[in-house]
Amino acid sequence: MLACPLMKVAAVQMSSQDRPPDNLAVAERLVLAAAEDGARLVCLPEAFAYLGPESGRARFAEERGDSGPIQSAVSAWARQAGVHVIAGGTPIAAPEKDKPYNSSLVFGPDGRLLASYDKLHLFDVALDDGTVLAESTTTTAGSEARVLEVEGVSVGLAICYDLRFPELFQRERSLGAELIVVTAAFTQTTGEAHWHVLLRARAIETQCFVVAAAQFGAHGPKRRTYGHSLVVDPWGRVLSERETGEGFVSAELDLELLRSVRRQMPVWDHRRSI
């Protein structure tokens, strides 16, 4: 456990498009700014490097841990700033060449790739606003939850549509998670309806901090994302939020608060199989 029970985290908010070099330039500026502001863990949103037609993702897929332009860039930022960086929603090569994983990659302050998580739940929907997304046609689903230690805090990983599946978050709590990072490109329609309530519910159910890094705005003529990057505490309170616009939100995570919530409301000890 931490000697000092505080860790500052930041969630970057972007409006990524279909040009990775431009997106990487924005991401670099915001990661370094968040680190300069004191964050020890900086989280990028899903699809931070490429957010265009789903069929185009495979062109930018990299082997996990290789020196491709996306991973090399994030590694360099982490090393330059001396912080942990979570690269949310990165296209990583899968056995089916045209269906890469959608992966969150965790880089340490020395620039090394420490861990990765492949998105478990793929977003296949047709919304009344005309949005049609079929992620499973271009993406390979992952198969397991992932928790790792960052600055003495146990961190679980999730991506966008995963937010609707509480069993993943409960599994990560069972694996020791104290903070769960959600990287997302939530649609405008579903975000307005469900984003806040789902994030707060996952925090309350697991008694974890939840940090959500989001995309916002228009991405081509037919896709809009909701924004509202935020940090939620284990009692379900929103500590910090950025409704729209490019930038980041940050908050200090008080591990003593987490322990107090879990001690006073020991729901994990009260669970029953039914």
CA-to-CA separations, 158 to 102, 179, 209, 256, in angstroms, rounded: 11, 11, 13, 24
Would you call 160 a catalytic residue per the annotation?
yes
Catalytic residue among 43, 46, 62, 178: 46
Burial 32-61 (b: 16+ CB within 10 A, else e): ebbbeeebbbbbbbbbbbbbbebeebbebb
Q: Which of 8, 43, 62, 119 is catalytic?
A: 119
Residue 270 CA, chain-centre distance (Å), reads: 29
Active site residue 46: yes
Concatenating the DSSP letter of every residue in 145-162 gives --EEEETTEEEEEEEGGG
State the amino acid at position 94 in one-letter form. Answer: A
256 is catalytic: no
Name the active-site residue from 160, 172, 178, 208: 160
Which has the closest alpha carbon to 203: 178, 176, 171? 178
Please give the positions annotated as active site. Answer: 46, 119, 160
